[in-house]
Structure 1
Amino acid sequence: MKYEMQEMPKAGDTVVVGMSGGVDSTLTALLLLQRGCKVIGATMSLWDGSLPEIHTGTKTREACFGPGEEENIEECKRFCEAHGIEYHVIDVKETYKNEILEYFKNEYRNGRTPNPCIRCNMLIKFGALLAGIEKLGIKYDYFCTGHYAKIVRPETGVFGSDKRPCMIAGAEDVSKDQTYFLYRVPSETLEKVRFPLAAMKKADVFALAKEAGLEAANREESQDFIGEEYFDVLFADKPSVPGDIIDLDGHVLGKHRGIEHYTVGQRRGLGVAVNYPVYVHSIDAKNNLVVLAPNEALNSNALIADDFVWPAGVEPSEPIDVMVKIRLASKPAAARIERYTCDAEEAAKYRGRPWKITFAEPQRAVAPGQSAVLYKDGVIVGGGVIYKAFTV
Structure 2
Amino acid sequence: MTEPIYLDNQATTPLAPEVFEAMVPWLRDNYGNPHSTHVFGRKAAAAVEIAREQVAAPFPDAGHVLFTGTATEAINLAMGAVLELQEQGRNKIIVLATEHAAVRDTAIACERKGFDVLLHPVESDGLIDLDALAAAIDRKTALVGAMLVNNEIGVIQPIEAIAELAHAKGALMLCDAVQGYGRVEIPGNIDMAAVSAHKIYGPKGIGALWVRDDIDIPPLVHGGGQEHGVRSGTLSPALCVGMGSAASLCILRAQQDAEHIEALAMHAKRLFSDWTINGDETQRYRGNLNIRREGLDVARLVSDVREVAFSAGSACASGSGRPSHVLTAIGLKPAQVKSSIRLGFGRYNSLQDIEMAAKLINRAAEAQ
Higher share in helix: 2
Larger Rg: 1
